[in-house]
Structure 1
Amino acid sequence: MATDHSTQILAPRWLIPVAPRDEVLEDHAVWVADGRIEAILTREQAQHRRQASDHPVEWIDLPTHALIPGLVNGHTHAAMSLMRGLADDLPLMTWLEEHIWPVEGQMLGHDFVHDGTMLAALEMIRGGTTTLSDMYFFPEAAIEAVQAAGLRGVFGIVVIDAPNRWSANAEEALAKGVELVNDWRRHSRIEFTLAPHAPYTVGDAALERVRTMSDQLDLPVHMHVHETAHEVEAAVAANGERPLARLDRLGLVNERLIAVHMTQLTDAEIDRLAVTGSHVLHSPQSNLKLASGFCPVAKLLEAGVNVGLGTDGAASNNDLDMFDEMRTAALIAKPIANDAAAVSAHQALHMATLGGARAFGLDERIGSIEPGKRADLVAVNLDEPETQPVFDPVSTLVYSASRRQVSDVWVDGHALLRGGRLRQLDSRAIIDQANTWREPIRWAKPAG
């Protein structure tokens, strides 16, 4: 980990705390000490306090920047960055069954996951993501990569009935997961979820075991649910029950459920999610590219359901760009709701920060710029032709800004990116290592 001043003052042009909602502060600064946000002060107050301090305090001036909480990528499969562009312009099940699963069957392993996650971490840091929630096999390898990158990570223990290169069955996956949780429970930047893949790949017995372990270990359950109309229709045809109703019958629809995609929802299901305190993670660009459907985000928010944002994996997106995800989420919500006011820029930013943090039970630590929280912060330089003039900096961030305008990224007060330069990762080495997988993956890809 790069060495940083233990005490810093970050003084941006605009401070966007996210909580309170819709607030934008000017001529303010954030006092950071030992990786924690200690205070939000006016510039004048910060200057006086710095002068009175009996130890060195670094002043970081950000005169043309917006300072925001670090972005929370609530749903991704980081190692799948190695399969970016492998199988494009296909529907979900064709994409999975004829391309992704066969390649994974040949390529999956510790090194594949480590190298793919390193590539993803590099991309995410440069794009302002400070926390990722990963759902993939060999989570121990992903943890190593995220640790090396300095990011905060939530790692899913993937549960699937079919044998794979990480586990022979659901029971082995859960046993390995318990061991990982016990090994890493005390680490401040590592969290876990139980991650049954989807209702169509995990049977009732395994889901009941997931529910029991979720209760015992106080772990969220992170799962693809109602991703496509086909998924719902097939479930109803097979057993007369919609997947969400099945999860509810098994006791999984509760405040720990984090349901991803959710493009097929009735009003009654939305009400049930609200009553139970369940969370939804929205991946709009992946849904669009796979023609999976449209998540009714405006209805969910209106009902009081917490919604976060995720990119999904780079194999189906094809990037890990949370700025692009915010913009897409805000834009497509409007025609779906037939309301230009649906999912405002402020709501989109909330979904990309505090909404995601809340889904994983991290909202007391991250997701907003408030005293007492960890200093996971991102500075975005708005002094570019594409983002001038600035009338509302939140609108500018969501509708105009690019991830390429991210200049600085801190996690726990440690700088991972300063002035656009990486502080602890060697991008050339990571890219070169990722490229060693290109030919093996190409040959593993089924012909045609």
Structure 2
Amino acid sequence: MTQITCLHPTYLLPIEPDTTVLLKHSLVMEDEKIIAILPESEARKIYPTANHINLDKHALLPGFINLHAHSAMSLLRGLADDLALMEWLNEHIWPAEKKHVNDEFVFDGTVYAMAEMIRGGTTTVNDMYFHNDAVARAGIHSGMRTIVGCSVLEFPTGYAQNADEYLAKGIAAKSEFEHQQGIYFRLAPHAPYTVADETFRKIIALSEQHEMGIHCHIHETAQEITDSLKQYGVRPLKRLHNLGLLSNKLIAAHMVHANDEEIVTLAQTGVHIAHNPASNLKLASGFAPIHAMQMAGVNVGIGTDGAASNNKLDLLGDLRMAALLAKAQSNNPTALGAHAALKMATLNGAKALGLDKEIGSLIPGKFADLIAIDLSDIETQPLFDPVSQIVYAASRDQISHVWVHGQCLMFNRGLTRLDQEELLNKAHWWQQRISDQTPQ
């Protein structure tokens, strides 16, 4: 038996067409899909027996898409702060991961991160980590739309011994879980400085064979570029271009250090960018030329990176930061306006994942991945423009409702599928375990 639900917000922000704001319009969903958007009076007349939910203080919009995350690292939040990237990785994060990362750690940490993301309005996460099956199970358990990024490195970890084993485990996990609703897989070579040319060639071939996108850290730091010039004689992006990696299947995470010529290359090859403003600032990686990329036609979405380097999985907060940074970095106050920023967190992310026909905007036929934001608080009044208020003034605490596949995962700030007390107990257990085994 089908279930029809009518949502009645004050403002409905479909994202498509651009800059559209609908007043007193209702969204109708049947099971997992949006079936209609129409004036509220008509919705109440046509669907009198539906489940009607009044959102008269709210804006309704597509759920946020976190285009780059390491979800399980939520259990390492605050372990090593105020350090440069390579020191942070080599001396703190990788040693901690070697000690603690296993299937249980990844499942618990990913579920915990997903709870935080759901509370912040994120409905889709493009993840990159180890123990791919644990990430998939966490997505199923949490109800979040999950892209499992199958990490690939040349060196051993507790998960695999070499690049071929990482790849084999990723393909095996895809075969096991790919038919689960809302679970997708990508190959995720960690970075040009941790993956060899031959492995990149294998990844390109496997991407074609298994119809998998690719997700990789690229040009995150200036040191990465300096080291590549010494080792390969070319900048990392050029090396990857020569190998044939650049295409519309690739999501390049960070891409902080892109020059004018490289921005043209990104646009011509269709590479998508996952912009991570908070992580870039915290690790002092630099300022990504986002406005220049968008002016060149490069598709840019937004990510949080992991909680170990952010330290919040707060896409709404990072969205405001991205908009302000774009203005300052380009010396242009019109750069990345509120509507464009909101599109970056929704439809642009969906396009990067190849899911823009399914999610990212409120259009009949798409999946009902939705969030409602209460704009009645002191912090978001008076209200002249709901989009401006969401991007520049609202906080994630004002996100009141979340749906994924038409299933309500948060209602009036209460998680409906995950147990908050259980999550906190798990976090405290891991805190104690990691603290006991970490030298002071």
Q: Which TM-score band (shorter chain)? A: over 0.9
Amino acid of the structure 2 residue aligned with 1:144: R
Q: In structure 2, what is the equivalent of residue 381 of structure 1?
A: 374
Q: In structure 1, what is the equivalent of residue 272 of structure 2?
A: 279
Whose relative contact order is higher, 1 or 2, with alpha carbons under 8 Å and at least 6 apart? 1
2: CA distance between counterparts of 1:218 and 1:139?
17
Conserved 8 A contact 1:98-1:446: no
Report the 3-state secondary structure (helix = DSSP H, G, I; strand = E; otherwise coil) of the residue aligned with 1:99.
helix
Instruction: State whether structure 2 residue 323 is matched by structure 1 residue 330.
Output: yes
Instruction: State whether structure 2 residue 66 is matched by structure 1 residue 73.
Output: yes
Shift of 1:440: 2.5
Q: In structure 1, what is the equivalent of residue 339 of structure 2?
A: 346
Instruction: State whether structure 2 residue 14 is matched by structure 1 residue 14.
Output: no
**Map 1:33-182 → 2, pairs under 5 A:** 33-51=30-48, 56-182=49-175
1: CA distance between counterparts of 2:38 and 2:54?
14
Instruction: Return the match for 1:29 from 26, 29, 35.
Output: 26
Report the 3-state secondary structure (helix = DSSP H, G, I; strand = E; otherwise coil) of the residue aligned with 2:47.
helix
Amino acid of the structure 2 residue aligned with 1:158: S
Report the 3-state secondary structure (helix = DSSP H, G, I; strand = E; otherwise coil) of the residue aligned with 1:133.
strand
Conserved 8 A contact 1:70-1:377: yes
TM-score, normalised to structure 1, is 0.97
1: CA distance between counterparts of 2:175 and 2:422?
32
More moved, 154-163 vs 5-14: 5-14
Q: In structure 1, what is the equivalent of residue 303 of structure 2?
A: 310
Conserved 8 A contact 1:103-1:444: no
1: CA distance between counterparts of 2:387 and 2:366?
21
Amino acid of the structure 2 residue aligned with 1:364: K
Amino acid of the structure 2 residue aligned with 1:334: K
CA RMSD of aligned residues (A): 1.1
1: CA distance between counterparts of 2:191 and 2:261?
21
Conserved 8 A contact 1:75-1:260: yes
Conserved 8 A contact 1:99-1:446: no
Cα deviations by residue, 1:307-327 (Å, 9 ceiling, x for unpaired): 010000000000100110100
1: CA distance between counterparts of 2:434 and 2:51?
47
TM-score, normalised to structure 2, is 0.98
**Map 1:188-199 → 2, pairs under 5 A:** 188-199=181-192
Conserved 8 A contact 1:263-1:295: yes
* Same amino acid, percent of matched pairs: 48
Instruction: State whether structure 2 residue 206 is matched by structure 1 residue 213.
Output: yes
Shift of 1:216: 1.2
Conserved 8 A contact 1:102-1:446: no
Amino acid of the structure 2 residue aligned with 1:440: R
Conserved 8 A contact 2:136-2:177: no
Shift of 1:339: 0.1
Shift of 1:198: 0.3
Instruction: Return the match for 2:222 from 229, 232, 238.
Output: 229
Instruction: Return the match for 1:251 from 236, 244, 248.
Output: 244
Conserved 8 A contact 2:58-2:376: yes
Conserved 8 A contact 2:31-2:406: yes
Q: In structure 2, what is the equivalent of residue 409 of structure 1?
A: 402
Amino acid of the structure 2 residue aligned with 1:208: R
Amino acid of the structure 1 residue aligned with 2:18: R
Shift of 1:44: 1.6
2: CA distance between counterparts of 1:115 and 1:96?
22
Q: In structure 1, what is the equivalent of residue 359 of structure 2?
A: 366
> Using a 3 Å threshold, how does the CA distance of structure 1 residues 94 and 443 change in structure 2: closer, same or farther?
farther
Cα deviations by residue, 1:242-301 (Å, 9 ceiling, x for unpaired): 100111011100111100000101111100110111100000000000000111110111
Shift of 1:5: 7.4
Shift of 1:188: 2.3
Report the 3-state secondary structure (helix = DSSP H, G, I; strand = E; otherwise coil) of the residue aligned with 2:89.
helix
More moved, 184-193 vs 75-84: 184-193
Amino acid of the structure 1 residue aligned with 2:13: I
Amino acid of the structure 1 residue aligned with 2:203: V
Shift of 1:335: 1.1
Amino acid of the structure 2 residue aligned with 1:6: Q
1: CA distance between counterparts of 2:278 and 2:288?
11
Conserved 8 A contact 1:69-1:367: yes
Amino acid of the structure 2 residue aligned with 1:359: A
Conserved 8 A contact 1:99-1:445: no
Conserved 8 A contact 1:354-1:366: yes
Cα deviations by residue, 1:390-427 (Å, 9 ceiling, x for unpaired): 11101100100000001100011111111111111111
The number of aligned residues is 440
> Using a 3 Å threshold, how does the CA distance of structure 1 residues 347 and 221 change in structure 2: closer, same or farther?
same
Shift of 1:439: 2.5
Shift of 1:446: 4.7
1: CA distance between counterparts of 2:224 and 2:267?
22
Amino acid of the structure 2 residue aligned with 1:368: S
Query: What runs of 5+ residues in structure 2 fail to find an aligned partner?
Result: none
Conserved 8 A contact 2:402-2:408: yes
Query: What runs of 5+ residues in structure 1 fail to find an aligned partner?
Result: none
